[in-house]
Protein backbone atom coordinates (compact mmCIF):
# COMPACT_ATOMS: atom_id res chain seq x y z
CA UNK A 1 0.00 0.00 0.00
CA UNK A 2 1.18 3.52 -0.81
CA UNK A 3 1.21 6.37 1.69
CA UNK A 4 -1.72 8.74 1.34
CA UNK A 5 -3.24 11.92 2.69
CA UNK A 6 -7.00 12.05 2.39
CA UNK A 7 -9.74 14.42 3.49
CA UNK A 8 -13.34 14.79 2.29
CA UNK A 9 -14.80 17.81 4.05
CA UNK A 10 -17.97 17.98 1.94
CA UNK A 11 -21.24 17.93 3.91
CA UNK A 12 -23.64 15.66 2.02
CA UNK A 13 -27.31 16.29 2.66
CA UNK A 14 -29.04 13.44 0.90
CA UNK A 15 -32.68 12.57 0.39
CA UNK A 16 -36.14 13.95 -0.18
CA UNK A 17 -36.23 17.76 -0.41
CA UNK A 18 -32.47 18.07 0.08
CA UNK A 19 -32.51 21.17 -2.13
CA UNK A 20 -34.65 22.98 0.44
CA UNK A 21 -31.46 23.40 2.50
CA UNK A 22 -29.88 25.61 -0.19
CA UNK A 23 -30.50 28.87 1.66
CA UNK A 24 -29.51 27.65 5.10
CA UNK A 25 -26.31 25.95 3.88
CA UNK A 26 -25.33 28.84 1.63
CA UNK A 27 -25.82 31.26 4.49
CA UNK A 28 -23.53 29.16 6.70
CA UNK A 29 -20.86 28.29 4.18
CA UNK A 30 -20.93 30.57 1.13
CA UNK A 31 -21.46 33.98 2.69
CA UNK A 32 -23.89 36.78 1.99
CA UNK A 33 -23.98 36.76 -1.81
CA UNK A 34 -23.72 33.80 -4.18
CA UNK A 35 -23.41 33.32 -7.91
CA UNK A 36 -25.84 30.60 -9.04
CA UNK A 37 -24.31 28.64 -11.93
CA UNK A 38 -26.59 26.36 -13.96
CA UNK A 39 -27.18 24.87 -17.39
CA UNK A 40 -30.41 25.16 -19.26
CA UNK A 41 -33.52 23.17 -19.85
CA UNK A 42 -34.71 21.00 -17.02
CA UNK A 43 -33.23 22.94 -14.10
CA UNK A 44 -35.29 25.92 -15.23
CA UNK A 45 -38.35 24.06 -16.58
CA UNK A 46 -38.77 21.87 -13.53
CA UNK A 47 -38.97 24.87 -11.24
CA UNK A 48 -35.86 23.75 -9.34
CA UNK A 49 -34.02 26.99 -10.04
CA UNK A 50 -36.91 29.02 -8.69
CA UNK A 51 -37.09 26.87 -5.57
CA UNK A 52 -33.37 27.38 -4.97
CA UNK A 53 -33.69 31.16 -5.41
CA UNK A 54 -36.63 31.17 -3.04
CA UNK A 55 -34.62 29.23 -0.46
CA UNK A 56 -31.77 31.74 -0.77
CA UNK A 57 -34.19 34.64 -0.40
CA UNK A 58 -35.68 33.07 2.71
CA UNK A 59 -32.23 32.87 4.28
CA UNK A 60 -31.38 36.45 3.24
CA UNK A 61 -28.62 35.27 0.93
CA UNK A 62 -28.23 37.60 -2.06
CA UNK A 63 -27.68 36.08 -5.49
CA UNK A 64 -26.74 36.78 -9.06
CA UNK A 65 -26.84 34.16 -11.78
CA UNK A 66 -25.04 32.65 -14.75
CA UNK A 67 -27.07 30.15 -16.78
CA UNK A 68 -26.70 28.34 -20.06
CA UNK A 69 -23.64 26.24 -19.22
CA UNK A 70 -23.25 23.54 -21.91
CA UNK A 71 -22.02 19.94 -21.56
CA UNK A 72 -18.22 19.65 -21.90
CA UNK A 73 -17.98 23.13 -20.37
CA UNK A 74 -15.68 25.67 -21.95
CA UNK A 75 -13.71 28.66 -20.70
CA UNK A 76 -15.85 31.54 -21.97
CA UNK A 77 -18.52 31.36 -19.25
CA UNK A 78 -15.79 31.01 -16.65
CA UNK A 79 -14.44 34.44 -17.60
CA UNK A 80 -17.97 35.81 -17.62
CA UNK A 81 -18.63 34.34 -14.16
CA UNK A 82 -15.41 35.75 -12.73
CA UNK A 83 -16.40 39.22 -13.91
CA UNK A 84 -19.90 38.90 -12.48
CA UNK A 85 -18.46 37.83 -9.13
CA UNK A 86 -16.01 40.73 -8.99
CA UNK A 87 -18.60 43.28 -10.04
CA UNK A 88 -21.10 42.05 -7.47
CA UNK A 89 -18.81 41.23 -4.53
CA UNK A 90 -19.89 37.60 -4.59
CA UNK A 91 -18.70 35.54 -1.60
CA UNK A 92 -19.39 32.00 -2.85
CA UNK A 93 -20.62 29.96 -5.82
CA UNK A 94 -23.67 27.70 -5.86
CA UNK A 95 -23.81 25.21 -8.74
CA UNK A 96 -27.23 23.80 -9.64
CA UNK A 97 -26.92 20.92 -12.07
CA UNK A 98 -24.42 18.21 -12.99
CA UNK A 99 -20.71 18.09 -13.67
CA UNK A 100 -20.68 20.89 -16.24
CA UNK A 101 -22.30 23.43 -13.93
CA UNK A 102 -20.19 22.28 -10.98
CA UNK A 103 -16.88 22.30 -12.86
CA UNK A 104 -17.65 25.75 -14.24
CA UNK A 105 -18.52 26.93 -10.73
CA UNK A 106 -15.20 25.59 -9.43
CA UNK A 107 -13.24 27.31 -12.19
CA UNK A 108 -14.96 30.60 -11.42
CA UNK A 109 -14.22 30.06 -7.72
CA UNK A 110 -10.55 29.55 -8.55
CA UNK A 111 -10.38 32.58 -10.82
CA UNK A 112 -12.02 35.25 -8.68
CA UNK A 113 -9.24 35.69 -6.07
CA UNK A 114 -6.45 35.28 -8.68
CA UNK A 115 -4.91 38.24 -10.46
CA UNK A 116 -3.88 36.28 -13.57
CA UNK A 117 -5.78 34.11 -16.07
CA UNK A 118 -7.68 31.27 -14.33
CA UNK A 119 -6.43 28.96 -17.09
CA UNK A 120 -2.93 29.17 -15.58
CA UNK A 121 -4.04 26.59 -13.00
CA UNK A 122 -5.42 24.16 -15.61
CA UNK A 123 -2.37 24.60 -17.86
CA UNK A 124 -0.05 23.86 -14.94
CA UNK A 125 1.52 27.33 -14.97
CA UNK A 126 0.37 28.20 -11.43
CA UNK A 127 -0.61 26.29 -8.30
CA UNK A 128 -4.08 26.87 -6.94
CA UNK A 129 -3.99 27.79 -3.27
CA UNK A 130 -7.26 29.56 -2.62
CA UNK A 131 -10.72 29.76 -4.12
CA UNK A 132 -14.16 31.01 -3.23
CA UNK A 133 -16.27 28.39 -1.41
CA UNK A 134 -18.51 26.24 -3.62
CA UNK A 135 -21.82 24.51 -2.85
CA UNK A 136 -23.85 22.16 -5.05
CA UNK A 137 -27.45 21.20 -5.74
CA UNK A 138 -26.91 18.01 -7.75
CA UNK A 139 -29.25 16.96 -10.56
CA UNK A 140 -27.12 14.48 -12.56
CA UNK A 141 -25.25 11.59 -10.93
CA UNK A 142 -22.24 11.08 -13.17
CA UNK A 143 -19.21 13.32 -12.88
CA UNK A 144 -18.86 12.97 -9.11
CA UNK A 145 -17.76 16.59 -9.02
CA UNK A 146 -20.05 17.23 -6.03
CA UNK A 147 -17.55 15.37 -3.84
CA UNK A 148 -14.28 15.75 -5.73
CA UNK A 149 -11.61 18.43 -5.79
CA UNK A 150 -11.45 18.27 -9.58
CA UNK A 151 -12.73 20.42 -12.44
CA UNK A 152 -12.59 19.66 -16.17
CA UNK A 153 -12.70 22.66 -18.50
CA UNK A 154 -12.17 22.89 -22.27
CA UNK A 155 -10.09 25.75 -23.67
CA UNK A 156 -11.96 26.84 -26.80
CA UNK A 157 -8.73 28.02 -28.40
CA UNK A 158 -7.18 24.70 -29.43
CA UNK A 159 -10.01 22.61 -27.92
CA UNK A 160 -7.85 21.46 -25.02
CA UNK A 161 -9.97 19.62 -22.43
CA UNK A 162 -8.01 19.59 -19.18
CA UNK A 163 -8.76 18.24 -15.71
CA UNK A 164 -7.39 20.13 -12.73
CA UNK A 165 -7.12 17.88 -9.68
CA UNK A 166 -6.86 19.45 -6.23
CA UNK A 167 -6.62 17.68 -2.92
CA UNK A 168 -9.02 19.98 -1.11
CA UNK A 169 -9.19 23.53 -2.49
CA UNK A 170 -11.97 22.86 -5.01
CA UNK A 171 -13.99 20.33 -3.01
CA UNK A 172 -17.52 21.64 -2.52
CA UNK A 173 -18.32 22.51 1.08
CA UNK A 174 -21.76 21.01 0.72
CA UNK A 175 -23.75 18.94 -1.75
CA UNK A 176 -27.54 18.74 -1.65
CA UNK A 177 -28.59 15.46 -3.25
CA UNK A 178 -32.26 14.64 -3.84
CA UNK A 179 -32.65 11.48 -5.93
CA UNK A 180 -36.11 12.65 -7.06
CA UNK A 181 -34.42 15.38 -9.11
CA UNK A 182 -32.97 12.61 -11.31
CA UNK A 183 -36.31 10.92 -12.13
CA UNK A 184 -36.69 12.95 -15.32
CA UNK A 185 -33.19 12.42 -16.71
CA UNK A 186 -33.40 11.03 -20.26
CA UNK A 187 -32.39 7.34 -20.42
CA UNK A 188 -29.28 8.01 -22.50
CA UNK A 189 -28.03 10.62 -20.02
CA UNK A 190 -28.72 8.24 -17.12
CA UNK A 191 -26.72 5.55 -18.91
CA UNK A 192 -23.84 7.91 -19.71
CA UNK A 193 -23.67 8.89 -16.06
CA UNK A 194 -23.47 5.24 -15.05
CA UNK A 195 -20.56 4.65 -17.45
CA UNK A 196 -18.82 7.75 -16.11
CA UNK A 197 -19.04 6.69 -12.47
CA UNK A 198 -17.92 3.15 -13.28
CA UNK A 199 -14.94 4.60 -15.14
CA UNK A 200 -14.03 6.75 -12.12
CA UNK A 201 -13.74 3.60 -10.05
CA UNK A 202 -11.91 1.56 -12.70
CA UNK A 203 -9.31 4.31 -13.28
CA UNK A 204 -8.38 3.83 -9.62
CA UNK A 205 -8.89 0.07 -9.46
CA UNK A 206 -6.55 -0.81 -12.32
CA UNK A 207 -3.44 0.17 -10.44
CA UNK A 208 0.11 -1.18 -10.30
CA UNK A 209 -0.05 -1.04 -6.49
CA UNK A 210 -0.56 -4.38 -4.72
CA UNK A 211 -1.58 -5.05 -1.13
CA UNK A 212 -4.62 -2.74 -1.12
CA UNK A 213 -7.31 -5.32 -0.47
CA UNK A 214 -9.51 -2.90 1.48
CA UNK A 215 -9.58 -0.38 -1.38
CA UNK A 216 -10.11 -3.16 -3.94
CA UNK A 217 -13.06 -4.57 -1.99
CA UNK A 218 -14.69 -1.17 -1.53
CA UNK A 219 -14.25 -0.43 -5.25
CA UNK A 220 -15.68 -3.81 -6.24
CA UNK A 221 -18.59 -3.20 -3.90
CA UNK A 222 -19.45 0.15 -5.46
CA UNK A 223 -19.13 -1.27 -9.00
CA UNK A 224 -21.37 -4.21 -8.08
CA UNK A 225 -24.00 -1.95 -6.55
CA UNK A 226 -24.03 0.25 -9.66
CA UNK A 227 -24.45 -2.76 -11.96
CA UNK A 228 -27.29 -4.10 -9.81
CA UNK A 229 -29.17 -0.81 -9.62
CA UNK A 230 -28.57 0.34 -13.22
CA UNK A 231 -31.18 -1.92 -14.86
CA UNK A 232 -33.72 -0.75 -12.27
CA UNK A 233 -33.30 2.95 -13.04
CA UNK A 234 -33.44 2.22 -16.78
CA UNK A 235 -36.66 0.24 -16.38
CA UNK A 236 -38.27 2.43 -13.71
CA UNK A 237 -36.98 6.00 -13.89
CA UNK A 238 -38.97 6.96 -10.79
CA UNK A 239 -37.72 4.12 -8.58
CA UNK A 240 -36.55 6.20 -5.63
CA UNK A 241 -34.28 3.66 -3.97
CA UNK A 242 -32.59 2.67 -7.22
CA UNK A 243 -32.04 6.33 -8.14
CA UNK A 244 -30.71 6.98 -4.62
CA UNK A 245 -28.27 4.07 -4.86
CA UNK A 246 -26.99 5.29 -8.22
CA UNK A 247 -26.70 8.88 -6.98
CA UNK A 248 -24.68 8.02 -3.87
CA UNK A 249 -22.55 5.54 -5.86
CA UNK A 250 -21.59 8.36 -8.22
CA UNK A 251 -20.24 10.35 -5.29
CA UNK A 252 -18.32 7.44 -3.74
CA UNK A 253 -16.91 6.62 -7.17
CA UNK A 254 -15.07 9.92 -7.32
CA UNK A 255 -14.58 11.37 -3.84
CA UNK A 256 -11.34 9.44 -3.54
CA UNK A 257 -12.38 6.58 -1.25
CA UNK A 258 -11.80 4.11 -4.12
CA UNK A 259 -8.26 5.37 -4.61
CA UNK A 260 -6.75 5.47 -1.11
CA UNK A 261 -3.37 3.80 -0.85
CA UNK A 262 -2.59 3.27 -4.49
CA UNK A 263 -1.34 4.79 -7.72
CA UNK A 264 -4.14 5.54 -10.15
CA UNK A 265 -4.28 5.28 -13.94
CA UNK A 266 -6.55 7.85 -15.71
CA UNK A 267 -5.41 7.02 -19.25
CA UNK A 268 -8.94 6.15 -20.34
CA UNK A 269 -10.22 9.52 -19.18
CA UNK A 270 -7.38 11.31 -20.97
CA UNK A 271 -8.06 9.38 -24.18
CA UNK A 272 -11.78 10.12 -23.92
CA UNK A 273 -11.20 13.82 -23.27
CA UNK A 274 -9.58 14.03 -26.72
CA UNK A 275 -12.55 12.28 -28.33
CA UNK A 276 -14.97 14.67 -26.58
CA UNK A 277 -12.89 17.70 -27.47
CA UNK A 278 -12.64 16.78 -31.17
CA UNK A 279 -16.03 15.17 -31.82
CA UNK A 280 -18.19 16.70 -29.09
CA UNK A 281 -19.52 13.38 -27.82
CA UNK A 282 -20.94 12.86 -24.35
CA UNK A 283 -18.15 12.02 -21.91
CA UNK A 284 -19.83 8.92 -20.45
CA UNK A 285 -20.62 7.50 -23.89
CA UNK A 286 -17.02 8.04 -24.92
CA UNK A 287 -15.84 6.19 -21.82
CA UNK A 288 -18.08 3.21 -22.68
CA UNK A 289 -16.08 2.99 -25.91
CA UNK A 290 -12.63 3.67 -24.47
CA UNK A 291 -12.68 1.39 -21.42
CA UNK A 292 -13.33 -1.97 -23.10
CA UNK A 293 -10.59 -1.16 -25.64
CA UNK A 294 -8.12 -0.17 -22.90
CA UNK A 295 -8.99 -3.34 -20.95
CA UNK A 296 -8.56 -5.50 -24.05
CA UNK A 297 -5.11 -4.02 -24.63
CA UNK A 298 -4.14 -4.57 -20.99
CA UNK A 299 -5.59 -8.08 -20.72
CA UNK A 300 -2.98 -9.32 -23.19
CA UNK A 301 -0.20 -7.74 -21.15
CA UNK A 302 -1.21 -7.51 -17.45
CA UNK A 303 -4.17 -9.86 -17.06
CA UNK A 304 -4.11 -10.59 -13.31
CA UNK A 305 -6.02 -7.55 -12.04
CA UNK A 306 -8.45 -7.69 -14.95
CA UNK A 307 -9.13 -11.33 -14.11
CA UNK A 308 -9.80 -10.29 -10.50
CA UNK A 309 -12.29 -7.71 -11.83
CA UNK A 310 -13.88 -10.44 -13.97
CA UNK A 311 -14.20 -12.81 -11.00
CA UNK A 312 -15.36 -10.40 -8.35
CA UNK A 313 -17.43 -7.87 -10.30
CA UNK A 314 -18.47 -9.56 -13.55
CA UNK A 315 -19.19 -12.93 -11.87
CA UNK A 316 -16.86 -14.88 -14.17
CA UNK A 317 -16.01 -18.28 -12.67
CA UNK A 318 -12.24 -18.64 -12.22
CA UNK A 319 -10.74 -21.13 -14.67
CA UNK A 320 -7.10 -20.65 -13.72
CA UNK A 321 -6.47 -18.89 -17.04
CA UNK A 322 -6.32 -15.20 -16.19
CA UNK A 323 -6.30 -14.02 -19.79
CA UNK A 324 -9.37 -16.07 -20.73
CA UNK A 325 -11.21 -14.94 -17.60
CA UNK A 326 -10.26 -11.31 -18.24
CA UNK A 327 -11.49 -11.46 -21.84
CA UNK A 328 -14.80 -12.94 -20.70
CA UNK A 329 -15.10 -10.20 -18.06
CA UNK A 330 -14.52 -7.49 -20.67
CA UNK A 331 -17.14 -9.10 -22.94
CA UNK A 332 -19.63 -8.94 -20.09
CA UNK A 333 -18.79 -5.27 -19.50
CA UNK A 334 -19.55 -4.58 -23.19
CA UNK A 335 -22.81 -6.49 -22.90
CA UNK A 336 -23.68 -4.47 -19.81
CA UNK A 337 -22.96 -1.12 -21.49
CA UNK A 338 -24.98 -2.18 -24.55
CA UNK A 339 -27.89 -3.19 -22.30
CA UNK A 340 -28.03 0.44 -21.16
CA UNK A 341 -28.14 1.65 -24.77
CA UNK A 342 -24.52 2.82 -24.74
CA UNK A 343 -22.08 2.56 -27.65
CA UNK A 344 -19.00 0.37 -27.30
CA UNK A 345 -17.29 1.20 -30.61
CA UNK A 346 -16.36 4.47 -32.29
CA UNK A 347 -18.85 3.73 -35.02
CA UNK A 348 -21.65 3.25 -32.52
CA UNK A 349 -20.53 6.51 -30.94
CA UNK A 350 -21.19 8.21 -34.25
CA UNK A 351 -17.54 8.64 -35.22
CA UNK A 352 -17.30 6.35 -38.24
CA UNK A 353 -13.81 7.29 -39.31
CA UNK A 354 -11.89 8.82 -36.40
CA UNK A 355 -8.68 10.72 -37.06
CA UNK A 356 -6.52 8.60 -34.78
CA UNK A 357 -3.34 10.52 -35.57
CA UNK A 358 -5.00 13.74 -34.45
CA UNK A 359 -6.31 12.14 -31.24
CA UNK A 360 -2.91 10.66 -30.42
CA UNK A 361 -1.12 13.93 -31.15
CA UNK A 362 -3.47 15.93 -28.95
CA UNK A 363 -3.31 13.32 -26.19
CA UNK A 364 0.47 13.40 -25.97
CA UNK A 365 0.64 17.17 -26.39
CA UNK A 366 -1.58 17.50 -23.34
CA UNK A 367 -0.25 14.61 -21.27
CA UNK A 368 3.37 14.19 -22.33
CA UNK A 369 5.06 11.50 -24.38
CA UNK A 370 4.29 8.80 -21.82
CA UNK A 371 1.29 8.42 -19.52
CA UNK A 372 -0.51 5.90 -17.36
CA UNK A 373 -0.28 4.16 -13.99
CA UNK A 374 -1.32 0.55 -14.60
CA UNK A 375 1.22 0.43 -17.43
CA UNK A 376 3.21 3.26 -19.00
CA UNK A 377 2.08 4.02 -22.55
CA UNK A 378 3.72 5.90 -25.42
CA UNK A 379 2.30 6.86 -28.83
CA UNK A 380 2.63 3.33 -30.19
CA UNK A 381 0.42 1.90 -27.46
CA UNK A 382 -2.13 4.69 -27.33
CA UNK A 383 -2.49 4.43 -31.11
CA UNK A 384 -3.22 0.74 -30.76
CA UNK A 385 -5.83 1.36 -28.04
CA UNK A 386 -7.60 3.97 -30.22
CA UNK A 387 -7.58 1.39 -33.06
CA UNK A 388 -9.16 -1.19 -30.77
CA UNK A 389 -12.16 1.15 -30.46
CA UNK A 390 -12.89 0.97 -34.19
Binding site for a second copy (CB under 8 A): 1-16, 18, 179, 210-222, 224-226, 228-229, 240-242, 244-245, 248-249, 252, 257, 260-261
| Of 262 and 273, CB closest to a second copy | 262
Shortest Å distance, C-beta 214 to a second copy: 4
Shortest Å distance, C-beta 245 to a second copy: 5
| Of 307 and 371, CB closest to a second copy | 307
| Of 250 and 343, CB closest to a second copy | 250
Closest by CA to 308, choosing from 297, 322, 294, 295, is 322
Shortest Å distance, C-beta 259 to a second copy: 12
Shortest Å distance, C-beta 247 to a second copy: 9
| Of 218 and 326, CB closest to a second copy | 218
- Residue 320 sits at φ, ψ, to 5 deg, of 95, -10
| Of 216 and 381, CB closest to a second copy | 216
Shortest Å distance, C-beta 69 to a second copy: 27
Helix (H) or strand (E) holding 262: none
- DSSP class of residue 37? E
Cβ atoms 302, 375 nearer than 8 A: yes
Provide DSSP, 175-187: EEE-GGGGTTS-H
By the 10 Å C-beta count (0-12 exposed, 13-18 middle, 19+ buried), 302 is classed as: middle
**96: how many CB neighbours lie within 10 A of its CB?**
30
Shortest Å distance, C-beta 244 to a second copy: 4
| Of 28 and 345, CB closest to a second copy | 28
Closest by CA to 21, choosing from 136, 148, 151, 112, is 136
By the 10 Å C-beta count (0-12 exposed, 13-18 middle, 19+ buried), 389 is classed as: buried
Amino acid sequence: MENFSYCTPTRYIFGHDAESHAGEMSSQMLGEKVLIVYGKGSVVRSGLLDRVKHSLDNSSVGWVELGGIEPNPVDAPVYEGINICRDNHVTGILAVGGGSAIDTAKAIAAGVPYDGDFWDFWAGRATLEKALPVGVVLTIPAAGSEGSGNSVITRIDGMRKISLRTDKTLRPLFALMNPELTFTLPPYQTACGIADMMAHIMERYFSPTTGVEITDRVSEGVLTAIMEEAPKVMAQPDNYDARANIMWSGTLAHNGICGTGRKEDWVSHAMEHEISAVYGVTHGAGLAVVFPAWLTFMAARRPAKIAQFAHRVMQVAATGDDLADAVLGIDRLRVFFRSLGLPVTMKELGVGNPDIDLLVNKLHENKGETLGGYMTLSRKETTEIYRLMC
